[in-house]
């Protein structure tokens, strides 16, 4: 039976979303994994940049930090770089970026200037500078934050100016509290969830069918997964990333390629998706879906896309969608994409959560579209020799200074796959215990980037207890201010995170001993009162810890070890 023969009730049961559109002209945008190079295009600089805000600093001794963020992680791995200046009357500065920090070094008071836009490379226009600092002789500095990105947003919606005290902890707290304030009130947005997604094992869509997803649900339930996300391949249409593509797949113009593109493939799911939704619900799980917003003609089909997802939610209760294939080079494309997200959220009372893929192309990025859901940060595969646990930990650690970890979706993989690609590598995935892989993404929205039903013996039994611990502490973990500790992960560091409670007397601390020769280390925990004299209770992992003079003295006997501690004053 073809999709065209389905009745309306059958279409709703399988959720067919029918419409027509016009095919896109030109090459498909980046995100097709066999050709990850993103099309940049030539976007002219704005002739007369708009001034978003201008103010004067009367203080001397001010440190300026320029934060350079990078998305398109299919082609980049170092996602954060910072540059610092101690402002001086002799130096004029003109800088690009989305995030700037001005802090008085003698008091620890400062302000964060954050542009709520895509990163510079992804804007329709690029001003000559985003920030200008001009010295005023003996009287301080004039600071100007420019618009001119060509998005057509009101200035009040284009930036935020966050004041803070208490140095780095106050700065991090201000940034995280602001980002959390932009989340919808629905509980699905307030609590990070543990996802699984089979795409990380590189079978792509070849195994996706009702029987396979049923197996995945059973295995995911044992692991502690909360959302089983079906990636590209559940739908009747064929994408450019499909193993069946052979020149037939598309990366935009989905509605035009076939009107039933977003009907669950009747050959793979003859009874639609409802039996799988019900099976997941019996285990306390939810089903999530991959969806590619149609970029053709600057998202001219945004209303059809929105209606499709709202139908999935109303008919099947699906709340979690991974959004891929986005290509937004113009102001109209950004406006229509924003309308798509806002329509779905409005029509579902905020119940739908989006994972926004930022791995490729020209997309809203870290700060261009707050309040929709987590950011799917990176595609990493052992098949391509691109996954190391310490590299993923490094990206989370570096981003956490600026992007709320509750907004980051970070992955761990099946370490038993492709071991031959890591010969004699002491930092190979297989050298890490399974629980250590989950620990590396503990302070994020975890993603099991694998087939749960194909995990090696013992993997689930080792990881599931840590998943239960994560669920037990996550409310406190993500209510606190999450600050990185120690050195940046590089494979040989002592590193970690602390989630600081509002009372300043208690915290959760996650510590890692990478491939470091020393079994002991002292991690300072900024923002935790030295007078609190907290006791340390180990919640998971191995080792010992003692609080002394504002720091945690740690002992972890084995390299690539870790431990989780609750500090109470």
- Distance of alpha carbon 377 from alpha carbon 398, whole angstroms: 13
- By the 8 A CB rule, do 352 and 169 touch? no
User: Checking DSSP bridges between strand 375-376 and strand 51-57, what pairing results, if any?
Assistant: unpaired
- Cα 15 from chain centroid (whole Å): 28
Contacts of 262 (CB under 8 A, 6+ apart): 15, 16, 17, 235, 236, 237, 254, 291, 308
Q: Walk me through the domains of the chain, giving residue ranges and CATH numbers.
A: 3-23+195-475 (3.20.20.70), 51-181 (no CATH), 481-568 (2.60.40)
- Distance of alpha carbon 262 from alpha carbon 14, whole angstroms: 10
Residues in the chain: 569
pLDDT per residue rounded down to tens, the chain (569 residues): 433 333 333 333 344 444 333 334 344 346 776 544 444 445 555 456 899 999 999 999 999 999 999 999 999 999 999 999 999 999 999 999 999 999 999 999 999 999 999 999 999 999 999 999 999 988 899 999 999 999 999 999 999 999 999 999 999 999 999 999 999 999 999 999 999 999 999 999 999 999 999 999 999 999 999 999 999 999 999 999 999 998 889 999 999 999 999 999 999 999 999 999 999 999 999 999 999 999 999 999 999 999 999 999 999 999 999 999 999 999 999 999 999 999 999 999 999 999 999 999 999 999 999 999 999 999 999 999 999 999 999 999 999 999 999 999 999 999 999 999 999 999 999 999 999 999 999 999 999 999 999 999 999 999 999 999 999 999 999 999 999 999 999 999 999 999 999 999 999 999 999 999 999 999 999 999 866 778 999 999 999 999 998 899 999 999 999 999 999 98
CB atoms within 10 A of CB 246: 8
CB atoms within 10 A of CB 104: 16
pLDDT score of 138: 84
pTM to 2 decimal places = 0.93
- Distance of alpha carbon 362 from alpha carbon 340, whole angstroms: 17
Instruction: Please state whether 207 falls in left (phi above 0), alpha (psi between -120 and 50) or beta.
Output: alpha
- Distance of alpha carbon 90 from alpha carbon 315, whole angstroms: 64
| Burial degree of 349 (CB within 10 A; 0-12, 13-18, 19+) | exposed
Which helix H or strand E contains 222, and what residues bound it? helix 210-223
pLDDT score of 520: 99
């Amino acid at each position: 039976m073809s999709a065209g023969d389905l009745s309306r009730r059958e279409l709703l049961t399988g959720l067919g979303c029918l419409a027509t559109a016009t095919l896109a002209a030109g090459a498909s945008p980046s995100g097709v994994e066999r050709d990850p190079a993103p099309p940049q295009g030539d976007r002219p600089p704005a002739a007369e940049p708009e001034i978003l805000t201008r103010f004067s600093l009367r203080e001397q001794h001010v440190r300026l930090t320029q934060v350079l963020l990078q998305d398109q992680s299919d082609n980049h791995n170092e996602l954060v770089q910072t540059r610092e200046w101690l402002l001086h009357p002799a130096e004029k500065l003109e800088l690009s970026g989305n995030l700037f920090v001005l802090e008085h070094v003698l008091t620890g008071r400062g302000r964060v200037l954050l542009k709520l836009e895509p990163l510079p490379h992804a804007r329709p226009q690029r001003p000559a500078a985003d920030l200008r600092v001009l010295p005023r002789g003996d009287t301080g500095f004039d600071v100007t934050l420019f618009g001119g990105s060509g998005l057509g947003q009101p200035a009040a919606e284009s930036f935020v100016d966050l004041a803070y005290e208490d140095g780095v902890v106050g700065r991090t707290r201000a940034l995280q509290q602001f980002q959390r304030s932009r989340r919808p009130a629905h509980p699905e947005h307030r609590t990070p969830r543990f996802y699984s997604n089979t795409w990380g094992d590189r079978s792509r869509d070849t195994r996706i069918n009702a029987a396979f997803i049923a197996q995945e649900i059973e295995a995911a339930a044992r692991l502690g997964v909360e959302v089983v996300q079906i990636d590209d391949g559940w739908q009747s249409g064929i994408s450019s990333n499909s193993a069946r593509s052979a020149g037939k797949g598309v990366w935009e113009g989905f509605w035009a390629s076939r009107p039933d593109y977003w009907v669950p493939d009747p050959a793979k799911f003859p009874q639609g998706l409802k039996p799988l939704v019900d099976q997941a619900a019996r285990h306390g799980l939810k089903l999530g879906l991959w969806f590619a917003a149609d970029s053709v003609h600057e998202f001219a089909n945004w209303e059809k896309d929105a209606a499709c997802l709202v139908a999935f939610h109303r008919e099947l209760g699906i709340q979690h969608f991974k959004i891929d294939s986005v290509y937004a080079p113009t102001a109209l494309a950004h406006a229509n994409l924003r309308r798509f997200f806002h329509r779905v959220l409005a029509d579902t009372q905020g119940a739908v959560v989006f994972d926004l893929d930022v791995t490729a192309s020209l997309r809203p990025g870290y700060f261009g579209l707050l309040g929709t859901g987590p950011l799917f940060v990176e595609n990493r595969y052992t098949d391509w020799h691109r996954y190391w646990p310490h590299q993923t930990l490094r990206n989370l650690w570096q981003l956490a200074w600026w992007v709320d970890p509750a907004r980051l979706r970070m992955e761990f993989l099946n370490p038993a796959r492709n071991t031959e690609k890591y010969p004699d590598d002491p930092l190979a995935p297989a050298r890490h215990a399974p629980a250590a892989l989950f620990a590396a993404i503990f302070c994020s929205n975890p993603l099991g980037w694998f087939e749960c039903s194909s995990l090696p013996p013992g993997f689930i039994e080792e990881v599931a207890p840590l998943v239960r611990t994560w669920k037990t502490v996550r409310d406190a973990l993500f209510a606190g201010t999450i600050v990185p500790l120690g050195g940046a992960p590089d494979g040989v560091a002592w590193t970690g995170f602390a989630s600081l409670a509002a009372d300043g007397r208690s915290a959760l601390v996650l510590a890692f001993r990478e491939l470091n020769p020393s079994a002991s280390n002292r991690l300072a925990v900024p923002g935790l009162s030295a007078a609190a004299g907290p006791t340390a209770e180990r919640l998971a992992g191995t080792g010992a810890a003692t609080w002394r003079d504002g720091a945690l003295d740690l002992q972890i006997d084995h390299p690539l070890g870790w431990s989780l501690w609750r500090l109470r004053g």
